[in-house]
Structure 1
Amino acid sequence: MPYAANRVDGLSSYFEDWGGEGSPILVYTGLGDPIEEAQENPLVGILAEDHRLIFADHRGQGRSDKPHGVNAYAMPTRVADAEAVLDEVGVERAHILGFSWGARLGFAIGEHSPERVLSLVLCGNQPYAWEQRWSFVAMLSDAFDVARDRGMAGFVDVIESTLGGVLGETVRRRLLANDPVAMGAAWRSALSEGAISSDLTAWRLPCLIYVADGEEMHANAQRAAAEIPTARFLALHGHTHLSAPYEVEQVLPAVRAVLDAAFTGG
């Protein structure tokens, strides 16, 4: 099985390398999503025509190791997971494509390991401290509190109750497959980590940051794009946080422009 060992703590990340002739893209999904979620994404399918796609499960979910301690999810350690995957497949530098939880990791890779990055394409997150006033932060915190006693079934119940609807069958099945202790530890670590970077103005990586126009992180994501000299911001009209990763028409031209900028210096 394709696993990469982290140089910091020896824990393993599961990955799949689709191969291909083009420049490599390392893809990370959202919180609680296995790599199959990204592999089924229509945007990813288009990019696979011209690029080498490498998919990795976050630590704590999918087929990667699932430590239960909060400290195991410190962001520099998670960045080392990504470095380990790139080392294992023999890739020195890659584009990073991150959705939601994966976008947060993408910001951290850009901060802690820019020499491994060709460009960043980041959907649905921001690099500053999490804000307690955001309703989704309260929702996830409540859900993980319930999951301590009732497992992921309790987590899903809180999400569905808060959102006012039943999640799709595939989404429910994938969420229920997670380890509630590992996932809760990852979330509590994220809440305590603060901002990813102290100086985004120093970044020189080609970067696209895009979010749904009505989501709570919109202003912070736009602020990050304004601070990074080489970043572009895109607000997706008619989308939510959950639907934004699947948009193609509004996103694809901007994604291709950023991928190309990695080689033109734009």
Structure 2
Amino acid sequence: MGEAFNAVDGVRISFQESGAGPTIVLVHGSGLSRAIWRGLGYTKALEERFQVVTLDLRGHGRSEKPQHEDAYSMDLLVGDILAVLDAAGVQAAHYVGYSAGARVGFSLLASSPERVETFTSAGGTYRSPAGQIESIFFPGYDQALDRGGVPEFLRQWSNAAGRDVDPQTAAAFLANDPAALRAYFRRSEDEPGIPEADLRKMDTPTLLLAGTEDPLRHADSERAARLMHKAQFHALLGRNHGQTLTPASPVLNILNSFIRRK
């Protein structure tokens, strides 16, 4: 396990390396942690051909958890990724981001394309997430975190979904600090996203994945594929946002084929 420190504000980012070969960086979604990649089978499958770098976004997992909104600006999140690449001695990597991790990836591509060999967005968007967070979780998620912490958040999320949150996801959320998570979500609501004019300038090979039952991210991914010069879109049949990564085997097949052809 390694540690990197953001050059701007010094926030500590926890990361892990395994395997050997070209570097692939896996970045999780909101409320999760790097453990999700191993739990779903991605790390084991990919470390056979790659040096796999997984990290905890600030405010998540074993990384530092600031409790003020300004600590979660997109510029700082991108700086965290660059700090991890530098600490791992990696000039450029294949980048795979799920949901919020994909959103960070779009911004990394906009600001530092030389650090990205290929970009894969799984259930991601280049747009601002404003108004979308409630659709992913449930209306009133912020109040739930404020009044009852993560356990109350999980209870209301389960009720809204009509089923219990799966144990891996619940464990990841329970490892978070509710005040830090609220600050992270609130700042996310204010982020502007990437202008479509900037997407048209991007020429990094890009793979966009989204479930057919994830209408917002499906539409945004299709749109991005039309705008970006070297992008391709693959729909994941029957999957909603939470199912984007699982089962892993079909996603890994698409990802490996994409990287081989890039």
TM-score band (shorter)? over 0.9
TM-score (norm 2): 0.93
Kindly tell me: are residues 255 and 138 of structure 1, through their superposed partners in 2, closer, same or farther at Cα, counting changes over 3 Å? closer
Aligned counterparts of 1:45 and 1:173: Cα–Cα separation in 2: 20
Shift of 1:29: 1.1
Kindly tell me: are residues 223 and 115 of structure 1, through their superposed partners in 2, closer, same or farther at Cα, counting changes over 3 Å? same
Residue by residue over 1:13-70, the C-alpha shift from the partner in whole angstroms, topping out at 9 and shown as x without a partner, is: 00011141x1101111121112111122234432211110011100001010111111
Tell me the number of residue pairs that the alignment of Structure 1 and Structure 2 aligns: 260
TM-score (norm 1): 0.91
Determine helix, strand or coil for the equivalent of 2:241: coil
Shift of 1:131: 5.2
The match for 2:140 is 142
The match for 1:80 is 79
Consecutive unaligned residues in structure 2, runs of 5 or more: none
Aligned counterparts of 1:58 and 1:246: Cα–Cα separation in 2: 21
The match for 2:60 is 61
The match for 1:236 is 236
Aligned counterparts of 2:39 and 2:163: Cα–Cα separation in 1: 23
Q: Any conservation in 1 of the 2:126–2:194 contact (CA below 8 Å)? A: yes
Q: Any conservation in 2 of the 1:204–1:230 contact (CA below 8 Å)? A: yes
The structure 1 residue matched to 2:149, chosen from 148, 151, 165, is 151
Shift of 1:232: 0.6
Q: Any conservation in 1 of the 2:19–2:49 contact (CA below 8 Å)? A: no
1:129 aligned partner, one-letter code: S
The match for 1:114 is 113
Residue by residue over 1:220-252, the C-alpha shift from the partner in whole angstroms, topping out at 9 and shown as x without a partner, is: 111011111111101100212112212444333
Aligned counterparts of 1:34 and 1:132: Cα–Cα separation in 2: 23
Which deviates the most, 10-19 or 141-150? 141-150
Consecutive unaligned residues in structure 1, runs of 5 or more: none
How do 1:43-62 and structure 2 match up within 5 A? 43-62=42-61
Determine helix, strand or coil for the equivalent of 1:125: coil
Determine helix, strand or coil for the equivalent of 1:30: coil
Which deviates the most, 112-121 or 37-46? 37-46
Aligned counterparts of 2:154 and 2:133: Cα–Cα separation in 1: 19
Determine helix, strand or coil for the equivalent of 1:90: coil
Shift of 1:133: 6.7
The match for 1:169 is 167
Aligned counterparts of 2:36 and 2:258: Cα–Cα separation in 1: 23
Kindly tell me: are residues 138 and 40 of structure 1, through their superposed partners in 2, closer, same or farther at Cα, counting changes over 3 Å? closer
Aligned counterparts of 1:117 and 1:254: Cα–Cα separation in 2: 19
Shift of 1:164: 1.2
